[in-house]
Amino acid sequence: MGPTRMLATALAASLALPAAAQTTSPTPTAAPAATVGGLSGPLVPGVCLLSRDDLIMKSKVGGAAIARLKVLASHAQASIEAEKSHIEASGKALSAKRATLTQQQFETEAAAIQRRAQNLQVDVSQRERQIESTRNRAYAQVLQAAQPFVATTFAAHQCGLLFAREAALGGNFGNDLTPEVLTAFDAKGTPITVELAPAETP
């Protein structure tokens, strides 16, 4: 797998949520089902649920953050592609003039091209880490921006405990706060600023 394909795969993965976010869950814009997972039971007073994954993936603030992450990933990809093209062009140019060079001259230039290719691999790894760090920071910012709406809804429903909906295997999801929090968050949430995280110092 070449460096640009590696970066594309890693960047796509960095924008994905953990496996828990990909499981089937109640649609936040509709009333939650009384029972989930084939398990029925009474509503547990004071025990509430919330999907933080939905707050990121399905809110307006989260959607804007994800769009920005894709732009940053695209810029990183373009930079890697450009350097890869330059290296390939240098290799072709060296091959074309092979007959006019001494063995030492050829080996010296070939070694320089090889070093550039190795540096590109290092750059790919660094860009992957940057995008991953940026993603983590952006998602944390979205959740922080949503927290006031979570707190208000939590109090309004007189919740005593709040659990991640993704961790619940089944039962009565009548106290899923996600739809209500999403509605309030979309109406009054403040957009966040997403900038590329600093590169790691070697």
- What pTM did the predictor assign? 0.75
> For residues 24 and 77, which has the higher predicted lDDT (pLDDT)?
77
Is 71 part of any domain? Answer: yes
Neighbours of 177 (CB within 10 A): 23
Strands (DSSP E) along the chain, which ranges?
47-50, 161-164
* Structure confidence by residue, pLDDT tens digits, 57-84: 999 999 999 999 999 999 999 999 999 9
Cβ(138)–Cβ(69) below 8 Å: yes
Is there a domain that residue 52 lies in?
Answer: yes
Residue 112 lies in a domain: yes
Tell me, yes or no, whether 47 lies in a domain: yes
Report residue 14 as tokens.
């960095």
Q: pLDDT tens digits, residue range 144-202?
A: 999 999 999 999 999 999 999 999 888 889 999 999 999 999 999 999 999 999 877 65
Residue 199 lies in a domain: no
Tell me the mean pLDDT in the region 34-39: 64
pLDDT band at 55; cut points 50, 70, 90: very high
58 part of a folded domain? yes
Query: Looking at the domain assignment, is residue 155 inside a domain?
Result: yes
Domain count, the chain: 1
Q: How is residue 8 written in tokens?
A: 């594309």
Q: Is residue 9 part of a domain?
A: no
pLDDT over threshold 90, residue 23: no
Which residues span the domain enclosing 132? 26-188
Q: Cβ distance 38 to 168 under 8 Å?
A: no
Closest C-alpha among 133, 139, 131, 130 to residue 192: 139
Token pair, residue 47, equals 């025990």
**Predicted pLDDT at 42:** 87
- Asked if the model's pLDDT at residue 5 lies above 60, the reply is no
32 contacts 173 by C-beta, under 8 angstroms: yes
